[in-house]
Amino acid sequence: MSSHTSLIQSLQTALGATHILTEGDLTTYERDWRGLVRGRALAVALPGNVDEVAAVVRACADHGVSIVPQGGNTGLALGSVPDASATQVVLSLRRMNHVRTLDRANLTMTVEAGCILQTLQQTAQEAGFLFPLSLAAKGSCTIGGNLATNAGGTQVVHYGNTRALCLGLEVVTAEGAVWNGLSGLRKDNTGYDLRDLFVGSEGTLGVITAATLRIHPLPKARRVAWAAVPDLDAALKLLDLAHHTLGPGLTGFEVMSQFALTLVDRYFPQLRVPMYRTSPWCVLIEHSDHESEEHARAQLESLLQHALESGAATDAIVAENLAQSDNLWHMRESISMAQAKEGVNVKHDISIPIARIPAFVAETDALLARAIPGVRLVDFGHLGDGNLHYNVQAPEGVDAVAFLQAESKHINQVVFDAVARYDGSISAEHGIGSFKADLLPHYKSPVAMALMRRIKRALDPDNRMNPGRVLTTGSEAAGRRTGQ
């Protein structure tokens, strides 16, 4: 009996044959969300509880087989699909989708890793609370994947990213032990913060199986404004005004370039995007108010009046109701889908010190325009926390796939080198995955890389947990150090 056959039998014994997939169409688990990569899995394991996850990990360790943890498989950094070897087990957390508890006194929810983000939002809302993490993929991404990549989303400016929303974790380690750290304590100063170590580790140190998350009282009102701004310097001026006028009520501040909104209008004309035709940039501002609808509107109107008077904005509207607010958000969240309809593209998820974003965009736009005549730039993102989605579309009439193959490496170098010059990060919220693993040593300090490698070796000495993601192998690293 082959080792792989023995492993499959062990997994079937632990989970039941119906929860170990080896045949049929496994595309859902083997292909990334953008359709760029299709791997081949030895098997897909679908555990229903933490003990079954631990059993899968132990069986794979016993047979020397690596594991690819997977949530909703909506990531953009190629971190959750198997390689092409047909020797890896995909460990899907989709069946572990229960909300275990909601603690009103502690303002927390304890949930399993396979819970869909939108389900968590709705569960909290039905109980009178807000779970503020919000992404365009909220209907399909899972909280385990959000934690594994430390996802950001649209409300980081006030609530922080996923790490800031997490008070505790349940994790299956690389040897198949279970760490229960779900207490939800806000103060626990008893050594190294293991929670923060596993959040953002992309399944390379262990498997997150559950989390205790912060929830917040629902605001009395949520209003959205849309403003046209003449340039990014004006957008920063408007952001400063928003901070001073709305204070902690500022929960979203998004910037969108004219071309990004042109694509939305081209493919989703029913949304009726305002102001973009006459303005190079538009800004979406969300205000969450704990007093009343009237107070929320008055605060936004005061902000916009000052913005128009100071030249920080040239035109603006305030949504009249929640439906209009949601529609404005829908325009912002449709940019990625509109860009996909225009053709495959080179995506960048970067962060830059907020005050330096206008200079970064001006310099990098010019560098790319000189290098690739006619290149089209889809700039948008979370200006309030310094996270830009700086995407590059092929020139008009150029085959997008051929463009991606021919130019993506050069484009990435131009963009990431500029990010480094501006003291930024090559990944703000999407993670490193395998997409940027080879690039990370060029843009992360040698000391930081050495520390991360030590942590990896300590927690996963056999390199069984999502190998090739975040960190490359030691031989590859040695090659870079010697200039090979």
User: 221-336: which CATH number, 3.30.1340.10, 3.30.1490.270, 3.90.930.60, 3.30.70.2190?
Assistant: 3.30.70.2190
Residue ranges of the alpha helices (H) in 422-471?
Answer: 440-443, 446-459
18 secondary structure, DSSP code: G
Q: Do the domains spanning 221-336 and 343-421 agree at the CATH topology level?
A: yes
Domain ranges, ordered by start, for the chain: 3-92, 99-217, 221-336, 343-421, 440-481
* Terminal Cα distance for the chain, rounded: 42
Contacts for 461 with CB less than 8 Å, ≥ 6 apart: 174
Tell me the pLDDT of the chain (484 aa) as tens digits.
578 999 999 999 999 999 999 999 999 999 998 888 899 999 999 999 999 999 999 999 999 999 999 999 988 888 999 999 999 999 999 999 999 999 999 999 999 999 999 999 999 999 999 999 998 888 999 999 999 999 998 899 999 999 999 999 999 999 999 999 999 999 999 999 999 999 999 999 999 999 999 999 999 999 999 999 999 999 999 999 999 999 999 999 999 999 999 999 999 999 999 999 999 999 999 999 989 989 999 999 999 999 999 999 999 999 998 899 999 999 999 999 999 999 989 999 999 999 999 999 999 999 999 999 999 999 999 999 999 999 999 999 999 999 989 999 999 999 999 999 999 999 999 999 998 999 999 999 999 999 999 999 999 999 999 999 999 865 434 333 322 2
Query: CA of 259: how far to CAs of 100, 197, 264, in Å?
Result: 44, 39, 9
Q: Cα–Cα distance between 200 and 180 in angstroms, integer?
A: 18
**pLDDT, position 483:** 28
Q: Does domain 99-217 have CATH number 3.40.50.300?
A: no
C-alpha dihedral over 340, 342, 348, 353, to 10 degrees?
Answer: -110
Beta strands in 300-397 (DSSP E): 315-318, 349-351, 376-382, 387-393
C-alpha dihedral over 211, 216, 217, 221, to 10 degrees?
Answer: -120
- Residue 319 φ then ψ, to 5°: -60, 140
At the second CATH level, the architecture of 343-421 is: 2-Layer Sandwich (3.30)
Do residues 252 and 331 lie in contact, with contact meaning Cβ atoms separated by under 8 Å? no
Helix (H, G, I), strand (E, B) or coil at 45: strand
Do residues 79 and 433 lie in contact, with contact meaning Cβ atoms separated by under 8 Å? yes
**pLDDT, position 480:** 35
| Of 126, 102, 113, 103, the residue nearest 169 (C-alpha) | 113
Whole-model pTM over 0.85:
yes
Do residues 206 and 465 lie in contact, with contact meaning Cβ atoms separated by under 8 Å? yes
At the second CATH level, the architecture of 3-92 is: 2-Layer Sandwich (3.30)
